[in-house]
Chain A
């Protein structure tokens, strides 16, 4: 646990000092909203379309972060140092997944208001608590699967290509659940209560992937 906290602190301090990943993710999200406005030729979206646009934008931003997750470790020998230290290997998984989770949450602080402003879905203020809950579960899915896929991809030759290629199908159930969960929240007659079915699906999917990643991560970082 302490190891994971140390690595997490290192990543957060690094991000705060260099401000590379999160601002790019935020910028990408806003630009994507603008693109969707032109692509769909609509001033305001509602219901399932709004949910779909938001989920896909979140996915693009997550892919940015996933590609950069282990780059520093790889290029500056962090992996070797970590393997030499007498610590539990899965601490790196926990640390990196937590870092990615925090990045996604900070991104959403910027992206949700931008979405409300640019694409004006109805009832978004009313549904905000439910929206936050679904987004939290979705972020956990992005974090776990993103870290796992990034760990696979960092040691291959086609680093930036393999990550999204493997990660997108693996993320599909989570994306389905997120989009379907948010859809009813953004429709004009939303009650503000999240659909329980998709919350359960997201939570179970997160749990399954967390267990799998935890069990298999050792094999990915050993030399």
Chain B
């Protein structure tokens, strides 16, 4: 590689040095800012999600107590549902302990074609 550079014309190194330093600094700064924003947004959303799950669980317990018939959640096996895959959905349910989440799932979401966040 040194042989290659030996053939190169005279380089304005002193003008470009600051750009290199600036590039690294800008990169690190942008990375930190992005991670910061992502982290705050995620923690906020995760907290809201946990809260919602807790509420759903409460409602499920009430439903069980009053002996309402429950949908088993087999709607999720329909491959046309535009969400996460069905087998993993069952895992999510077992993680959170929300048993018949099928009762809460609105299959109309599949047909409404709503978009996700950009």
Q: Check A-B contact in the complex, CB < 8 A.
A: no
Task: Please give the residue numbers on chain B whose beta carbons come within 8 Å of chain A beta carbons, in ascending order.
Answer: none
